[in-house]
Structure 1
């Protein structure tokens, strides 16, 4: 039997501890991080395995703030209902809300980042993003949107159930990224999609906040597969707020009773 099987090792660069110290990302947690690093900065560092610059931190934390809450979405409602059903299991209520992060809510962040990265990977983008004109980006966006339409697929990041004209988060995230010199190819392509899609789809849809957050995160260097995790991280704060509010001012019982008392039984086989 090989020595590696007798004495296996499990490498990690995240954290470790002994009787007197806790190490995190190569730092002494108590001496180097506590009081010196914000939670957003730490979250970036944990995933990227490098400390973000102040500019990167501003964009990243703006994204987390943008995704934290959006009212009584299904994720918030199910979290509140789960707490009502099992008030002794806060972790279950929080988990229930997070499990709803999919293609309609929160998952759009990943879907948009993945879509933009795929388009950019298949394009011959020469020079820096800043050196390419809007005409160049529009041409690439036009090809991408046309291909999606021909395939009968939605363009991730387009449209919003509430913000029909403009998602107020989108221009602010783009402006912050531009101010910090971090408006890269994903955001530029996303902007171009916003400009050209009406001529292809025959209607104008807003660039939504989840989509712009995916583009901004991709420009920060995060791979598409991890982007939904950041959306879930942000929404955890929002869900915790909903659950705290539910404890003080409950509405879940009203939601339950409203559905229960207005349910209409239709026997199988009956119209």
Structure 2
């Protein structure tokens, strides 16, 4: 098939424009991330800084990177009872390789299991946006009313099934407070999070302290990340735990392990 030169040139331009990226430039012998040669990054940039570089266009300070790294470290694992972790382990016993086990686990990190950080950060941001024209307490009440009307009464990021007080959150919030004292962050997301704690306690009569999702949402918000990225960053973090458990299960062996030992059975609710 003969294509006129002019048309071929136009088609080539269309092909080159099909994918457009400001993230990476690859040519023979050249790899640049955001304009920085990869060989200057290797050995000089840590993982948290690389995550920032890939997702953002601004340059982080060491103190900002320390907060980001703390959040990534805090959420790596929460035991084999966490659905994503148990799925990874069960997948390995079904004979799949590590990549398939990890993919199976990551696929369930959606709105219910894995999405609380994103939802919580959006709630913080909604409250702060309303606080531009009214007192924070009123802004939060309005944001909570809108959230519960749309999603139900459970507020993501607060309370925990296992921990009366989530030890991860305590440490993360202490780091945020220290960063605020040193002018690294403004502390507004932390202020909203703590106000939600007090509001929920007043409304329910129960203490529902901030959990890991609420605390990491504070950090991601203070650092200027968008809510959707809060879920992506959580998945990056939890992937470490998923990989570790999948690998451990591979070493332990086992064949077609279900969620419970067979002797425990299950409840049949159909017709006899």
Q: Among residues 60, 64, 69, which one is paired with 1:61 in the alignment? A: 69
Check the 8 A contact 1:146/1:200 in 2, yes or no.
no
Distance 1:234 1:123 in 2: 31
Q: Deviations over 1:28-73 (max 9, x none)?
A: 001x100000011100111112331111101100000111111111
Supply the RMSD in Å over aligned alpha carbons: 2.7
Check the 8 A contact 1:138/1:195 in 2, yes or no.
no
Structure 1 equivalent of residue 170 of structure 2 = 171
Check the 8 A contact 1:159/1:208 in 2, yes or no.
yes
Check the 8 A contact 2:93/2:256 in 1, yes or no.
no
Structure 2 equivalent of residue 263 of structure 1 = 265
Shift of residue 266, structure 1, vs aligned partner: 3.9
Check the 8 A contact 1:138/1:193 in 2, yes or no.
no
Structure 2 equivalent of residue 111 of structure 1 = 119
Structure 2 equivalent of residue 23 of structure 1 = 32
Structure 2 equivalent of residue 201 of structure 1 = 204
Structure 2 equivalent of residue 133 of structure 1 = none
Structure 2 equivalent of residue 47 of structure 1 = 55
Structure 2 equivalent of residue 81 of structure 1 = 90
Q: Among residues 7, 10, 13, which one is paired with 2:13 in the alignment? A: 7
**What is the SS of the residue equivalent to 2:43?**
coil
1:139-218 pair list within 5 angstroms: 140-145=139-144, 148=147, 152-163=152-163, 165-180=164-179, 181-218=184-221
Shift of residue 199, structure 1, vs aligned partner: 1.1
* TM-score normalised per structure 2: 0.84
Name the stretch that deviates more: 204-213 or 11-20. 11-20
Structure 2: gaps of 5 or more residues? 1-6
